[in-house]
Amino acid sequence: MDHAILGQTALAYSPVIDRNRSVTATRLTVWPLQQGAQLDAGTLLQALAEAWPVGGQSLWLNVASEGLLQDLMRAQPGSHILLEIPAFMACDEAHAEALCTLHANGNTLLLKDRPLQELPRAVLPCFKQSIIDYEDDRRNDPHPEAHSAPQGAAPGAGNARSITSIQAGVRTIGEMENAFRNGATAVLGWPIDDVIQESGKPADQPALQVIVMLIDQVHRQEDIEVLEHTLKRDPPLAYKLMRYINSPAFGLSVEISSFRHAIMILGYQRLKRWLALLLATASKDPNMKPVMFAAVRRGLFMEELARVSGDEDMRNELFICGVFSLLDRMFRQPFNELLKTIPVPERVFQALAERSGPYEPYFKLVQAMEGSDRFEIQEAADGLMMGFGDINPALLKAMQSAAQLD
C-alpha cells in the first residue's frame, strides 16, 4: 500500500450506526498535513480502494480541504463512496454542475452542517441527508427555552427541510438513543463512553464466560479433549471461531475443519489471538455493536503498527491489547479486576489496567485516530515516533482485514 498521499495526510475514522445499532459504513476524515499542499485526488482514491473496494462496505469521506474535495468531486469516485459536502459549497452555484453529475452517477451526497441560504434548485435533489453535530442540534438541548429562535431557521434554509438528519459527534449510548428519538436516521461517532452504565445487565454473559474459560485452558495448555468439551457448551461460538480462522484475513492455505484441527495447525499460542477476537465480539447486545466494531479494528490496527518491528510476539500482544481494550465495557469491571480472570501478557496488563508500559503509545494513537482532532493525532504519532507514511497504510490494512472478518 505504497501511496505518497498517505504520508501527506492525517486520517481518522468512526462508524456509521443505523437505528438497529448496526454499523453500516465507515466514515473516514482526511486532513492535509500541510495547508495549501497540492494533493492528488486520484491517488487518494486508489489508496482507499484497497480497503474499501467496489461492492464492499460503503465509505463516507469527510475531507477537510476544499481544494482536495473539489478534485475528488471531479475525479468521479465509485458509487460506494459517499461524499460529505459542506453547506457553503453546496450553496455555491460554481459547484452545481459537479454535484449534479455525481448525483446522476449514483453517488450519495451528504450535506454537512445547516445551509445559511437556499440551496440552488438544481442541487437540492442531490441531497437526501444532512449531517449535524450532536451539540449543535437544539433538539438535543435539555434546556431548549434558552434559545430565542429555532436552530437551523436561517433565511432561505426552508428548501432543505425534506432532508433527513444524521447526528455526528455522538459519544455515549444516551446521546445515541436521544438522537434516534429525535428522528436521526443514523449517528456518527463512538457511543461507548457510558456503555457500562447504559447497557443494562451484561449481554450474553454465559457465552463470554465460556470463552474466558477457553482462554484460560489454552493458556494452561490443557488437553484438546478438555477444550473441545468446553467449546461444545456453546455451538454457535464454535461455528464463529471456525469462520474467523478460515477467513481471508487469517491467510491459511488449508481449511480448518474442526477445533481439534485448529489446535493441531495453529498451536496454542496462535490460537489465543482468535479466542481473544471471539471474546471481543461475542455479545448479542445491540448497543455493543459499536464496541465490537472498535475492538476488532483496534486489535488489527495495533498489530499492523508493529509489523515494521518484525517482532511476532509483540504483534500478537498488541493485537490482544487492542481487542481486549473494551472488555471493561462488556464485563462492567475495571481492568485491574477483570484481568485477574483473563490471562494476558504483562505488557498488555500494563497498557489496559495501568495505562503505562511500552504499548501505551500505540494505544494512545489508536484512540486519537478514533477522534476528530488532527493535532491530537499528530501528538500521538510523535509520541510513537512514527510517520504517517507508516501509520496510514497500517490503518487501511487493518480496515481491509476487518472487512474480511465482518
Contacts of 390 by beta carbon, 8 Å cutoff, 6+ apart: 305, 308
Residues 275 and 141 in one domain: no
Residues 209 and 79 in one domain: no
Quick check: 1 pLDDT over 70? Answer: no
* Rounded average pLDDT over 213-232: 88
Residues 187 and 251 in one domain: no
CA distance 92 to 187: 27
pLDDT score of 219: 86
Lowest mean pLDDT among 147-161, 226-240, 287-301: 147-161
Quick check: 56 pLDDT over 60? Answer: yes
- Helix/strand/coil for 277: helix
Domain count, the chain: 2
Query: In one letter, which amino acid is 173?
Result: I
Lowest mean pLDDT among 222-226, 257-261, 396-400: 257-261
Which of residues 191, 220, 248 is at a domain's end? 191
Residues 117 and 223 in one domain: no
CA distance 284 to 261: 27
Domain presence at residue 83: yes
Q: What is the DSSP letter of 231?
A: H
Residues 102 and 237 in one domain: no
- Give the CATH number for residue 242: 1.10.3210.10
Domain presence at residue 94: yes
Contacts of 350 by beta carbon, 8 Å cutoff, 6+ apart: 356, 357, 358, 359, 360
H or E segment and range at residue 241: helix 235-245
**How far lies 357's CA from each of 57, 125, 188, 343, in Å?**
36, 53, 32, 17
Residues 59 and 166 in one domain: yes
What is the band of 205 on the pLDDT scale with cuts at 50, 70, 90? low
Domain presence at residue 385: yes
Residues 128 and 226 in one domain: no
Residues 185 and 212 in one domain: no
- Give the CATH number for residue 36: 3.20.20.450
Quick check: 279 pLDDT over 50? Answer: yes
Residues 218 and 150 in one domain: no
Torsion sign (Cα): 326, 330, 336, 342:
negative
End-to-end CA distance of the chain: 22
Residue 35 phi, psi (nearest 5)? -60, 135
Which of residues 191, 218, 253 is at a domain's end? 191
Domain presence at residue 198: no
Give the highest mean pLDDT range of 3-17, 154-168, 199-213, 281-295: 3-17
Which of residues 164, 191, 218 is at a domain's end? 191
> How many CB atoms sit inside 10 A of residue 303's CB?
25
Residues 161 and 289 in one domain: no
Residues 39 and 149 in one domain: yes
Residues 60 and 104 in one domain: yes
The parent domain of residue 158 ranges over 4-191
pLDDT score of 404: 84
Domain presence at residue 196: no
Q: What confidence tens digit (pLDDT) does each residue in 4-22 have? A: 999 999 999 999 999 999 9
Q: What confidence tens digit (pLDDT) does each residue in 362-389 have? A: 999 999 999 999 999 999 999 999 999 9
* Rounded average pLDDT over 29-41: 91
The burial class, CB within 10 Å (0-12 / 13-18 / 19+), for 105 is exposed
CA distance 388 to 72: 21
